[in-house]
Structure 1
Amino acid sequence: MNPTPARMGWDWVKQGFGMLRKQPAGLTALFFGYMLVSMLLNILPLVGAIAHAVLTPVFVIGFLRAARDVEAGRMVLPRTLITGFREPAFGRLCKLGGLHILAILAAVTIMMLFADTDVLKGKSPEDLQPSLALMQEVIRFPGLQVGFFLYVAALLVITFAAPIVCWNGMGPGKGLFYSFFAIKRTAGAFLVFVLSLGAIAFGTMMVLRLVFGAGAVGQALMGMVSVLLFGIGHIALYFPYTHIFGPLPDDKAAPPVP
C-alpha cells in the first residue's frame, strides 16, 4: 500500500472539490437527483427509510462512477446515479445496506441507554415529532456523542466497502474486512478527511445562518449547500480508494450504462 500521511486526508477533500469545478453542472444534477430520490423514499413511513438505508451502498457506486467519469473526461449524466443497480454486485451491495440498518439500530440503542424520558412528560403530540432538537433534549451526554461517532465510523467502513465489494468481486464480509483494515492502516488520513469535511460543513452553515438568518431563504441555502457537500464527500471517497487499491481499468471502473 502507498504511504499515507495524515495530511493526505485534506488532499482527498480538495480533490473532491476539484471534481465539482471540472463538471459543476453534471455533478450538481447528480447530487440533487440523489436528494430527490431520498425525499421520495422517505415519504413512505418506515418502509421508505429502510429502503433508503439498504440502498445507500448502491448509490455510493453511482457517486464513485461519476468521479471516475470526471477523471476520464466523460460527461456525468443523472442516470449515472443508478449505476449500482445495474451492477452484478447489486445483491451484495444490498447486504451491506442491511448491515447499515444494524449500525443505525446499534447507535440508537446506545443513545437510548442515556435517554431521559422524564422530559417527554407534559409535551403535546406536536412537540413529540422526531427532530434533532428533541433528540438533543432527551438523550444526554455522552449517549448522543458516543452513538453518533460510532455510527459515523460504521458508516465510513460500510461506505468504503461498497466499491471493494462491487469492483473487487468480494462478498460483503470480506469487503468489510478489507475496508476496516484499510481505514485502520490509514486512520490519520481518514480522520483528517472526516474532520475537514465536518469543519467545512459546520463553518459554511454558520456563515449562511449569520448572513441570511434562519428564515426561509437561509434554510433553503443551507439545504442546497448540504446537498452539495454531501455529494462532494462521496465523490472524494474515490481518491482514497484508488490510493489504497490502485487505479481501476476503465472497463471495471466505468461500465457502460445502457
Structure 2
Amino acid sequence: MQAAILPITAGWQWIIDGFNLFRRQPLAMFFWSLMTGLLITLTYLIPLFGQVFLIAAMPSLTYITLNACRQIEAGRPMQPGMWLIPLKDAQARAGLIRLGLAYLACCLAAGFIATLPFLDQIMAALNNESFDETALLSAIQGPFLTFGLLYILISALFWHAPALIGWHRLKMSQALFFSMVACWRNKFPFMLYGATWIGLFFVAQTLGDVLAASGLSATITQLIMTPINLVIAAILYCSFYPTYMSIFGRSAYNQPDQTGSTPDGN
C-alpha cells in the first residue's frame, strides 16, 4: 500500500468534495445522518452498554458510509435496502467486528490512562461535603485534555482501517499500520480538515445561540437547527470518502462493490 502525500490545502478540498457528494444525493445522505443520530440517541438510553455498543460499531458505520459514498460517486441511487449490503460480506463483517473491539479497547485504555493521574483530584472534588462545581470542572479538565490528545492518535490509527479491511482485505494489524502512516504523512491536511470542521460546528452552535437569544422559543430554535445540524453531519460523513480516495487512490476499486461489480462496470 502506498499512501500519497498531499498539500495542506487538501484538508479543505476533502470538505468541498464531501459537499459535492452530498449534493448529488442529498436525501440519501440526510437519511443516513438522521439514522446515525437516532442510533446515537438510542444508545444513550441504555446506560453503559449502549455507549460500549456504539463505540464498537463505529468502524462498521464508517464502512457503510464509505460504501454509500462509493455508490453515489458511481452515479447509482442509494436505496434503503442498500445500506447494510456491505456487511453481508462475511469476511469484511468479521474483520470490522474485530476492528470495532480493538477500537473499543483503545478508547477504554485511553480513558484509563487519561483519568488515572488525576484520580485523587477528581475524588477529592466529589467527596467534598459542600459540592463545588468549579472544583470538579477544574479536576476533570486534565483528564479531558489528556484523553483528547490520546484520541487524536487513536483516530489516526483507525481512520482508514475500515476501508483497508473491507476493500483491500488487509489484516487488522496491517490496516492499522497503513492508516497511521497515511495520517502521519498527511498530518497537516488532517489538521486543517479537523480545524475547519470544528469551526463549522462552532458556527452552527453560535447560530443556535443567536436564535435562542433573539426570543425564539426552544421548540422553534430546535426545529430550525436540527435539519441544519443533520446536513452538516451528512457532509462530514461524505467527506470521509475523499480523505481515503485521495490518499490511497483508485486501488480501492479493485474490490467488488455492493452490487458485485467494479465501478468501471467489469
TM over 0.5, shorter chain: yes
Partner of residue 161, structure 1: 161
Q: Does 1:100 align with 2:103?
A: yes
Deviation at 1:17, TM superposition (A): 1.4
TM-score, structure 1 length as denominator? Answer: 0.84
Asked if the contact 1:2/1:243 (under 8 Å) is kept, the reply is yes
Cα separation, 2, equivalents of 1:255 and 1:54 = 23
Aligned partner of residue 45 in structure 1, secondary structure = coil
**SS of aligned partner of 1:183:** helix
Cα displacement (A) at 1:200: 0.9
Structure-2 residue corresponding to 1:186: 186
Q: Is 1:241 equivalent to 2:244 in the alignment?
A: yes
Question: How many percent of aligned residue pairs carry the same amino acid?
Answer: 22
Offset from partner CA, 1:24-82 (integer Å, 9 cap, x none): 11110111112223333333332222221111101111111111111111112344442
After TM superposition, the structure 1 = structure 2 runs for residues 18-57 of structure 1, keeping only pairs within 5 Å, are 18-57=20-59
Q: Where do 5+ consecutive residues of structure 1 fail to align?
A: none
Counterpart contact for 1:61–1:83, Cα < 8 Å = no
Q: For the Cα contact (< 8 Å) 2:86–2:258, is it kept in 1?
A: no
CA deviation after TM superposition for structure 1 residue 220, in Å: 5.4
* Displacement after TM superposition at 1:146 (Å): 2.3
Task: Give the partner amino acid of 1:238.
Answer: Y
8 Å Cα contact 1:111-1:146 kept in structure 2: yes
Q: One-letter code of the match for 2:124?
A: D
Whether the 8 Å CA contact 1:136–1:144 is kept in 2: the answer is no
1:161 deviates by 0.8
Separation in 2 of the partners of 1:60 and 1:137?
Answer: 34
The residue type equivalent to 2:65 in the other structure is F
Partner of 1:140: 141
Change (3 A) 1:147 1:252: same
Give TM-score, length-normalised by structure 2: 0.81
Structure 2 distance, partners of 1:34, 1:201, is 17
> C-alpha displacement at 1:173, in angstroms?
1.0
Q: Look up the equivalent residue of 2:94 and give its one-letter code.
A: G
Deviation at 1:215, TM superposition (A): 3.1
1:174 corresponds in structure 2 to 174
Gaps of 5+ in 2: 261-266
Contact 1:64/1:237, CA 8 A, preserved across alignment: yes
Alpha carbon RMSD of aligned pairs, Å? 2.9
Counterpart of 1:9 (choices 11, 26, 31) is 11
> Bigger radius of gyration, 1 or 2?
2
How has the CA–CA distance of structure 1 residues 3 and 158 changed in structure 2, closer, same or farther, with 3 Å as cutoff? closer
Question: Which segment drifts farther, 9-18 or 224-233?
Answer: 224-233
Aligned twin of 1:82? 84
| 1:109 matched residue in structure 2 | 112
Between the aligned partners of 2:180 and 2:194, the Cα distance in structure 1 is 15
Aligned mates of 2:251, 2:192 — CA distance in 1:
25
Whole-angstrom CA distance in 2 between matches of 1:55 and 1:226: 22
**Matches of 1:42 and 1:103 in 2, distance apart?**
20
